[in-house]
Amino acid sequence: MRILVVNCGSSSLKFKLYDLTAAETPALLAEGLVEEIGREKSRFTYKSHKSPNKLVLEVVAKDHTQAVSAMKDALLHPEHGLFKDKIEVDAVGHRVVHGGEKFSNSALVTPGVRAAIEECIAIAPLHNPPNLAGITACETIFPGLPQVAVFDTAFHQTMPPHVFLYGLPYEQYEKFHIRKYGFHGTSHEYVARRCAELMKKDFDKLRIITCHMGNGSSITAVKNGKSFDTSMGLTPLEGVVMGTRTGDMDPAVVLYIMDRQKLSPQEMNTLLNSKSGVKGISGISNDMRQIMEKAEAGNNRAQLALDIFVYRIVKHIGAYVAAMGGADAIVFTGGIGENATTIRAKILEPLAFLGAEIDQVRNASDAKEKIVTRDGSRIAVWVVPTNEELSIAQKTKTIIESQVSAG
Ligand code: ADP
């Protein structure tokens, strides 16, 4: 079965085409990225097993439909494409950021599903509109092809009410659905399952803390195979300090700044989401490699940003160990979690008392997937590269197969 995975942002479209015929050995056939959608000219990068050297092209993609068209043209290209006259795929899997309370699983896109995604625009105004635009574009360019929505929030729908409710008047939840939802669910589930496989243990009997650390970062407590708690909330702003987001903060700060500095909700939103976090604290960048370099060179604010980033993650891990009554494993993933050896070491240092004993040689090894604690460490710590696109493809395949067997 061939599955095309599409991930649309406001000005970008990322895609990967998988052959999942052999479930154990999925094959990535092609991948590409259209950037700067909406400008006069957009940048298109494309790679396939027929043209392993990355092609960089200029295309016209004034909207997501034209971007999908560019993707189709590349896949049908006489030299670099994979197909002759027709794109032969079985379904398209779309990353959809917010599924609200309606989706605890992926779903075949129907008018009802589309309406539910639209309803979530109010709480995910940056993410759900481009996700929907990607679905509409694929429906237009590939009429009749099944489209599946895979939600970032779905895995976290198992959180119990005493975990997902805020200390607000209950009507705020009843009337306006204000609660913790959590994000990066596809990644947290994927790396937690892989960790259980690597440990040769039953996923449903483990307590795993997954740390997805990239531009956006979130920590999840996975208890007996289910998301029990997660650091992001109604939106991805809650939780640990991120590249450009504040993470947890006294909500009164927001009111105080808006009042004293006369900021509009829009301006405040930009301050909280795009100007804060590691970038805002350091005054340098949200790129962790750059922050580490500057901190190493003696820049105090880069060091402070790094210390705050690490501290907040340690605090969340500690809280989740307590919340689950212990932990069997911690998993690091995402650009920072997978690559930043020293940040992993710094996070684990204060956690040694819990029984997470780092092995410095293992931590510094070049292996992509690895255990970084000593043999016999009470908590096993793993690095597992995330693969959200592959996971979306697999979930899409499951939905398509269930439709076939039901129909
Ligand atoms: P996104 O959340 O956009 O998917 P990624 O998961 O790719 O982002 O993570 C991007 C972050 O990972 C950036 O801050 C980048 O600096 C950081 N990163 C990537 N490689 C390294 C590395 N070798 N050391 C430290 N940080 C790294």
pLDDT tens-digit series, residues 339-388: 999 999 999 999 999 999 999 999 999 999 999 999 999 999 999 999 99
Task: Give the mean pLDDT of the chain.
Answer: 96
Angle at 334 between CA 333 and CA 336, to 5 degrees: 95
For residues 157 and 124, the model is more confident at 157
- Mean pLDDT for 72-76 is 94
- Mean pLDDT for 320-329 is 98
Residue 23: its pLDDT value, please? 77
Q: Is it the case that residue 79 has pLDDT exceeding 90?
A: no
Q: Does domain 201-388 have CATH number 3.40.50.1440?
A: no
What's the gap in Å between 289 CA and the centre of ligand 1? 7
Residue 249: its pLDDT value, please? 98
Q: How many CB atoms are closer than 10 A to CB 265?
A: 9
Instruction: For residue 404, name the pLDDT band (cuts at 50, 70, 90).
Output: confident
Distance of CA 43 to the CA centre of its chain: 23
Instruction: For residue 114, name the pLDDT band (cuts at 50, 70, 90).
Output: very high
CA dihedral (241, 247, 250, 255) positive or negative:
positive
Q: Is it the case that residue 49 has pLDDT exceeding 90?
A: no
Q: What is the pTM of this model?
A: 0.95
Residue 406: its pLDDT value, please? 78
How far is 229 from 316, CA to CA, in rounded Å? Answer: 10
Domain segments of the chain: what residues?
14-89, 201-388
Residue numbers annotated as active site: 152
Residue 176: its pLDDT value, please? 93
Query: Ligand 1, closest atom to CA 216?
Result: 2
Kind plus residue range of the DSSP H or E element containing 162 = helix 161-164
How far is 356 from 330, CA to CA, in rounded Å? Answer: 9
Q: Whose CA is nearest to atom 7 of ligand 1?
A: 335
Residue given tokens 């439909």 in the structure block = 65
Query: Ligand 1, closest atom to CA 213?
Result: 6
For 272-307, write each residue's pLDDT tens digit: 999 999 999 999 999 999 999 999 999 999 999 999
What's the gap in Å between 222 CA and the centre of ligand 1? 23
What's the gap in Å between 388 CA and the centre of ligand 1? 15
Q: Is 65 in the pocket of ligand 1 (CB under 6 A)?
A: no
